[in-house]
């Protein structure tokens, strides 16, 4: 069978990042953008864990991953709060409708 190498992890991370970024770029709904953001953070997270897995001396990557999970939760909380505020202000969470810059 094939051995799972670092490249496989990195490719999965890259896929996740691309999917996340596509979500962020294409979806109009603010919630899905937050989801995309989570995916992108998770992609970075997988990279951390993967690099840490092959780094046998120190397990710094896992620690960083734990920090990232906490930060990601904080970030999504902040993001949701912002979305709530946006909704209060604009009565919508579709980001393309949320704009004050007029052409």
Partner 1 sequence: MTGSEDIIPFVLVLATVFLPVLSFIGLFIAGGSIHENTRSMTATGMIFFSWMSALIALIYCGVSGQWDYALPWFRYLSSHQFVEHTISFSINGMSLIMLNVVVFISFLVHLYSYEYMGHKKNHVMYYPYLGLFTFSMIVLVLSNNLLVTFISWELIGFCSYLLVGFWFNKEAAAQAASKAFLINRVADVFFLLALLLVFYQYGSFDLNAIHDFQSTHYSSGTIDFSIGMLLFIGCMAKTAQFPLNSWLPDAMEGPTPVSALLHAATMVAAGVYLLVKLDFLLTIDVRFVMVIIGSLTAFFGALPALTTFNSKKILAYSTVSQLGYMIAAIGCSASSAAFFHLFTHAFFKAGLFLSVGAVIHALHNVHHKLAYEHRFVHMDPLDIRIMGGLGKKMPLVFVAYLITASSLMGLPFFSGFLSKESILNAMFTFAEYRHGIALIAPILGIGTVLVTAFYVTRLGIWMFLGESRLNELKYYSEHVWEKVKVNHPVIIVPLVLLSLGSFFVLFSTDPFHASHSWLLSGQGHLGRVSGLRSGFVEEYGLVMIGSLTSVVLGILLAVLLTKKRVSVHALESKKSILTRFYYIDDVIQGLVVMPLQKTSLAIAAFDKKGLDGIVHGIVYITVIKAHIIAWFDRVFVDGVISLMVYSTGKFGKAFRVIQRGNVQNYLFWVLALMLVVAIWVLIKGVLF
Binding residues for partner 1, per CB under 8 A?
A: 21, 24-26, 33, 95-96, 98-103
98 vs 92: CA distance, rounded Å:
8
For the bound state, the minimum distance from the C-beta of residue 15 to partner 1, rounded and expressed in Å, comes to 15
For the bound state, the minimum distance from the C-beta of residue 94 to partner 1, rounded and expressed in Å, comes to 11
For the bound state, the minimum distance from the C-beta of residue 5 to partner 1, rounded and expressed in Å, comes to 20
Collapsed DSSP state (helix, strand, coil) of residue 29 = strand
17 token code pair: 């990042």
31 vs 86: CA distance, rounded Å:
12
74 token code pair: 């904080």
């Amino acid at each position: 069978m094939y051995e799972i190498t670092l490249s496989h992890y990195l490719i999965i991370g890259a896929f996740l990042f691309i999917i996340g970024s596509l979500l962020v770029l294409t979806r109009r709904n603010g919630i899905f953008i937050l989801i995309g953001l989570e995916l992108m953070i998770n992609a970075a997270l997988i990279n951390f864990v993967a690099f840490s897995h092959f780094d046998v001396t120190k397990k710094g990557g896992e620690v960083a991953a734990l920090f990232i999970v906490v930060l990601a939760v904080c970030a999504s909380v902040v993001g949701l709060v912002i979305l709530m505020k946006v909704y209060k202000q604009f009565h919508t969470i579709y980001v393309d409708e949320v704009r004050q810059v007029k052409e």
